[in-house]
Chains A and B, each alone.
Chain A
Amino acid sequence: MKRTMTILLSLLLVCGSVFAQGKTEKPFPSKQVTIIMPWGLGGGPDTIARKVASYGEKYLGQPVIVENKCGGAGTIAMDALMQAPDDGYTMVCSNGPLFSLTPAFVPVDYTLKDITPLIGMRIVEFVILSNPSSSGIHTLEELIAAGKSGKHIKYATTGGPGNDSYTMISVLFKKLGIEAEAVPYDGGQDAINALVGGHVDIAIGSPPVYRDYVRNGQLACLGTFIPEGIEVEGIGKIPSFKEQGIDTEFTGMDYFAVKNSVPEDRKAILTKYVKDVYADPEFQAFMESLGMQAWDATEDEIKEKITLQTEAMDKYIKLIK
């Protein structure tokens, strides 16, 4: 009897420890991970995030889904992130202007301290373009000359005030000292379309939206806000405004982030997952087809860029407001 009791007791103990282990050491992630997307379906960040998500099973062991929560200049999505639990199952695709620009126009309930950028996604390279056949403007000099001669320039932006492209192109015209007026459109494609159709004189865009039009000669690049200029396949070097003597610069960026309160080990697992995806040759080929490169920046690099951008934006907003 005593022997039976001992066996039973030890069995119970073994079972108990197994259960206890199961409960405390459930590996992360043990269920689906969600990436909140503040912008629309089919856009640049959405397309890349969905591709990254498709590797969820392969590199994270769990499915990853993208959930679009658009509107309110990205604040709806940021609000959803802030309300999500701290368990690491909710990521967000964020950008710089959500911190450097949006708060100047919309009341927000978040600060840069509330999030941890995990890893970069892409650099957004804004380029200013003209339609030479409708406006006769081929270069920055010709734009300045046209403006000084009294032509009232109309430029297409990819959104209204509070939008990064709106701010940057407006700042450019202020710095050039040219009288010009913004015509806000619903997105990059609409803005380029308005330019190709000859409805506006100048527009702002990022590849791949304008690339083909420049290659077949319908549009001309006047310059980029990336301080060191950019090299675009099939177009060649596009000089920066800084290089052309105009003191404006902007480096747009998208990155993956989580709430700051998420445990460090989980942040590391999620970061490694995205890194593994970036290293996948198939993913690299995909990015190449879009004419882009994955930007694997670290948390510190991203935060530094956002801080610099916020300082610059303060100055720029004062200039155009």
Chain B
Amino acid sequence: MEVFMSGIHTLMNPNILLVIPLGLILGIVVGAIPGLTSDLGIILCIPLTYGMDPTVAIVLLLAIYVGGTYGGSITAILINTPGTSANAATLFDGYPMTKNGESFKALSMALYASTIGGLVSAFVLLFAAPQIAKITLLFGPAEYLSLAIFGLSVIAGVSNDNIFKGLIGACIGIFVSTIGMDKISGTMRFTYGNLQLRRGIDLIIALIGLFAISEILMKSKYDPRTDRKTVDSSSIIKKEITPAEYKRCRRPIAIGTLVGVIIGATPGTGGGLAGFISYNQTKQTSTHPETFGKGEIEGVAASESANNGACGATMIPMLTLGVPGDGSTAILMGAFMIHGMVPGPMLFVKQGNILYAIMLGLIIVNICLWFIGKVLIRFYANITKIPFELLACTILTLCTAGAYSTNNSIYDVYYIFVFGILAYLMRRMDFQLVPVLLGIVLGPLAETNFRRALILSDGSYSIFLTRPISLAFLIVSVASIVIFTIRGIRVKAKIRENDGSVPVSASDSGHME
């Protein structure tokens, strides 16, 4: 209690109130631009924090992190390209909502869900970090593999009209993830002697190509004049979330927040996986799964509460064990060290007051996110009113710049176009893009941990079944696939009975019209 009070005292710094809005706005901007992530925002700001009080400095960087994780949803909703990989699952329903003229509503729900997820996560960090850290230590290679399989089970949910196309997509994704140096044996795979391919393909590069570039290609074949008529721009701003919709979103937000906290606290995972799992769970347990993927506000709530729910929780292993949960926390860890705090088991003992000040600061950051987001939404909801010709050029420029800045490499710019063309062809052949993304995200997690687990068990597969957490994930994964498949068949049969038409895929984020 004493350190807690001294934490409040440390936080009583007027500069805090100045840096939080600054950090949030910067985070939202870098998060919203595909290719620029909150990682970049944090890196750019670290030198500015050298002279600051450590608490103020870290709170500023946290504001960028939180703002960035939310900001990525803006482009996911408006232009079908997640600004960061954490917002990938927001595409499913966010973009269809924009197409239905409900972009303002989708953006508001993203903000609402992000704020709640982030706040709960910050409280969990404040009150339960050391206890949760002990549980995450139980995660060995077998558990990570089962978790990755659980994540991959989403494929069944997002491609239920054609599971084979979904699996082919996932295989393409896994193949992409194997390019570069193999982490276990150190050998080069699929690089064909090309030095640039040794680095592998960055997730964000694949993402920009798959979603943004292919979207521009898809849209380019339509006559923009007729396309624009489909959305009545005057209605965009007016559509507020109704009380009934808020009520409906309670459950998805609760699921999302819980999933976000659990996944976030598990090192080596992150907001993207949390978004997918939360979306899948919400859809599976919903009484109306058929509306998901067509502009269901619950889908946006599920994904966005999860990725921001992961924000505070990713700090748990970082602060308590010194193990960063994702890229952003790895950079934050560097920032902690620059400010004289070495994350690890002794941090709570040695610098408890600063730490509590930072954790309380994170709560304020999440509250401020709500107010700042509210003010900004009206501005960016108008993006859909911009003529497509102009928007496409701007997106293309931002994506190219974003891709280049990822590694300061022109090759990444080439890659986004390769992925763009591949994705365009896949979409023309009715393939979903999400399984490809899942393959790229979860492929490496599954592969390396599968191999590690087998080394540990001397080649025996029983390791995945004898460890309780691993077994539990596997059971849930199988149940999830079975339930989904049966449900998919039933829904199809029902729709056929009703009107004789073949249903549209439950998730057609990869489809244009």
Interface residue ranges, A against B (CB under 8 Å): 40-43, 46-47, 50-51, 53-54, 67-73, 75-76, 79, 105-106, 109, 152, 154, 159-163, 166, 181-186, 189-190, 192-194, 196-200, 208-209, 211-213, 215-216, 218, 285-286, 289-291
Distance of A200 from chain B, by nearest CB (Å): 7
Cross-chain pair count, CB within 8 angstroms: 142
Question: Within 8 Å of chain A (Cβ to Cβ): is B231?
Answer: no
Candidates B43, B50, B186, B456; contact of A154 at CB < 8 Å:
B456
Does B435 sit within 8 A of A, measured CB to CB? no
**Residue of A with least CB distance to B196:** A76
CB distance from B245 to the nearest CB of A (A): 40
6 new A-B contacts at CB < 8 Å, known A41-B327, A189-B324, A193-B317: A42-B333, A106-B188, A161-B185, A189-B323, A197-B140, A285-B340
Q: Are A152 and B346 in contact (CB under 8 A)?
A: no
Q: Quick one: which of B189-208 are within 8 Å of A by CB? A: 195-196, 198-200
Q: Name B407's contact: one of A69, A193, A197, A198 (CB within 8 Å).
A: A69
Q: Interface readout for B313-335 with A: 1 if CB under 8 Å, 0 if not? A: 00001000111100100111111
- Are the C-beta atoms of A43 and B334 separated by less than 8 Å? yes
CB nearest to B322 among chain A residues: A189
B46 touches A162 (CB 8 A): no
Interface residues of B (CB under 8 A from A): 39, 43, 46-47, 50, 137-141, 180-188, 195-196, 198-200, 267-268, 317, 321-324, 327, 330-335, 337-338, 340, 342, 344-346, 407-409, 448, 452, 455-456, 458
Contact between A50 and B46 (Cβ–Cβ < 8 Å)? yes
Closest 10 CB pairs of A and B: A71-B199, A72-B198, A42-B334, A160-B186, A199-B140, A161-B186, A212-B346, A197-B137, A42-B330, A162-B186
A-B contact pairs, 18 of them (CB 8 A): A47-B337, A54-B47, A71-B181, A72-B180, A72-B181, A73-B181, A76-B199, A160-B184, A184-B184, A185-B452, A186-B183, A189-B321, A190-B323, A193-B321, A199-B141, A213-B344, A218-B345, A289-B342
Is the CB–CB distance between B198 and A163 below 8 Å? no
B334 near A181: Cβ-Cβ < 8 Å: no
A101 → chain B closest CB, angstroms: 10
Q: How many Å from the CB of B135 to the closest CB on chain A?
A: 10
A236 CB, min distance to chain B CBs, angstroms: 16
By the criterion CB–CB under 8 Å, are B338 and A212 in contact? no
Tell me which of B195, B267, B322, B342 contacts A79 (CB under 8 A): B195
In the complex, chain B residues whose CB is within 8 Å of the CB of A182:
455
State the CA gap A80–B108 with chains docked (Å): 44
Q: Contacting B345 at CB < 8 Å: which of A109, A159, A216? A: A216
How far does the Cβ of A71 sit from chain B's closest Cβ, in whole Å?
A: 3
Task: Please name all residues of chain B whose beta carbon is closer than 8 Å to the beta carbon of A193 when the two chains form the complex.
Answer: 137, 267, 317, 321, 323
Instruction: For the complex formed, measure the closest distance between the CB of A55 and the CB atoms of chain B, giving whole angstroms.
Output: 9
Residue of B nearest to A57 (CB): B47
